[in-house]
Structure 1
């Protein structure tokens, strides 16, 4: 571990690409149970790879555009003196290095384009994840028949990404919320209600309808 403040700052900065990767990856895939050791290895591994790629790109620029970049030889030979003499340049190039590395780490976590019928790793994906991500470009309308026989419907707002199927998961619906009692025959919009939270343990049947935006006709 670093023993100085500068070393600590450099250590944290070099791990930023892995952190950016991990954060986007957490939003792009179903939530899974990982140990702290596994997550740390993922952050470190991605950071090392990305940092080396960006460092190689910097070395390429320094070789072909020596006047436009820092002098790696002088910087490594006497970093304190070189930084003092070229403080602004060192700060700007360091910020650029960090920004490019973070963006690259973030980009690496992007999900591949969805292909109809493609089911990779179904065992680690919940039924909710598979159903709600079938058509990523569509608005997802949800209808829920509850165990007591009542019915609730609305537009999908959010849901638990846990891969384990259990009753503690929640999903929220937004927009015009329609509701029908257990003994009712017609569902009606609930006045002054724009969001509703449903627990998975209360849902008996869940229906999904995909509504794609209509193309705008050319004038």
Structure 2
């Protein structure tokens, strides 16, 4: 850990892009629980990579616009003397480069974080997001007491662990069958929260394409080519 204020600032600057990447990835994809070593490695690797790209772009800008960019050579030779003379320019450029690095990390996380690797997916993630992303399927659950509840999936725990300590939220139209009953009844409520610990079997029905759209697609596919 840094023991000076300057060291603390440098640590934040170095790790902020990687931390941005990890936070965005977790919010857009399946929640994973890597080891502290892997998590730290991801933060450091992403920070170094994005900052190298940013420094490369700054070097190109320095070559094209030497009068509008800080003089890195003078900064190295003169140190704090040059910083005191050009603190405003250095401050704006340092803030801009750090913001660009964080933005680049966030964009990369948004692109690759939505589709985690299959090894990091839970069964719920596969059924509710991986196979038909963007859909809200109809879900039916047989519970351990023999009852049955059905509704449209509204929310689910995105943890990559198939743990019983999580919940599934279903919204109307809700249907319910009491234990020992034979018929499913409409349930006059807006939403239901079901504990994964109580679910024995889960059925998922995905939306099917509209008949008119399917017919139009079939017609287009079978239309003869113009001579």
Q: Same fold (TM over 0.5)?
A: yes
Q: Render the CA deviation track for 1:127-185: whole Å, top value 9, x for unaligned.
A: 11111111113223322222223222333233223333332232222454443323262
Between the aligned partners of 2:93 and 2:143, the Cα distance in structure 1 is 58
**Structure 1 residues 199 and 53, CA, compared in 2 at 3 Å: closer, same or farther?**
same
User: 1:138: which partner in 2?
Assistant: 135
- Aligned to 1:15, the other structure's residue is in SS state helix
Q: Cα 1:184–1:41, aligned 2, differ >3 Å: closer, same or farther?
A: same
User: How many residues were matched structurally?
Assistant: 208
- Alignment TM-score, normalising by the size of structure 1: 0.80
Q: Once structures 1 and 2 are overlaid, which stretch shifts more, 137-146 or 41-50? A: 137-146
1:170 to 163, 167, 180: 167
| Preserved contact between residue 126 and residue 164 of structure 1 (Cα < 8 Å) | yes
Q: Could you tell which deviates more after superposition, 24-33 or 89-98?
A: 24-33
Q: How many Å separate the matches in 1 of 2:113 and 2:184?
A: 42
Q: Take 1:209 and 1:92, find their aligned partners in 2: how far apart are those partners?
A: 54
What is aligned with 1:98? 98
Inter-partner Cα distance in structure 2 for 1:170 and 1:27? 18
C-alpha deviation, 1:73, in angstroms: 1.5
Return closer, same or farther for 1:70/1:148 CA change in 2, 3 Å cut-off: same
Indicate the residue corresponding to 1:129 in structure 2. Answer: 125
Partner of 2:198: 202
2:144 aligns with: 147
Aligned to 2:216: none
1:67 matched to 2:64? The reply is no
**C-alpha distance in 2 between matches for 1:103 and 1:212:** 38
Task: Say which one has the larger Rg.
Answer: 2
Displacement after TM superposition at 1:213 (Å): 9.7
Kindly report the root-mean-square deviation, in angstroms, between the aligned alpha carbons of the 2 structures.
2.7
Structure 2's unaligned 5+ residue stretches are 214-227
In structure 2, distance between residues paired with 1:91 and 1:213 = 55
Secondary structure of the corresponding residue to residue 139 of structure 1: coil
2:86 corresponds in structure 1 to 86
Q: What's the TM-score once normalised by structure 2's chain length? A: 0.78
Q: Give the whole-Å Cα distance in 2 for the aligned partners of 1:143 and 1:124.
A: 25
| 1:111 equivalent in structure 2 | 112
- 1:144–1:206 CA contact under 8 A, matched in 2: yes
* In the alignment, structure 1 residue 14 sits paired with structure 2 residue 14: yes
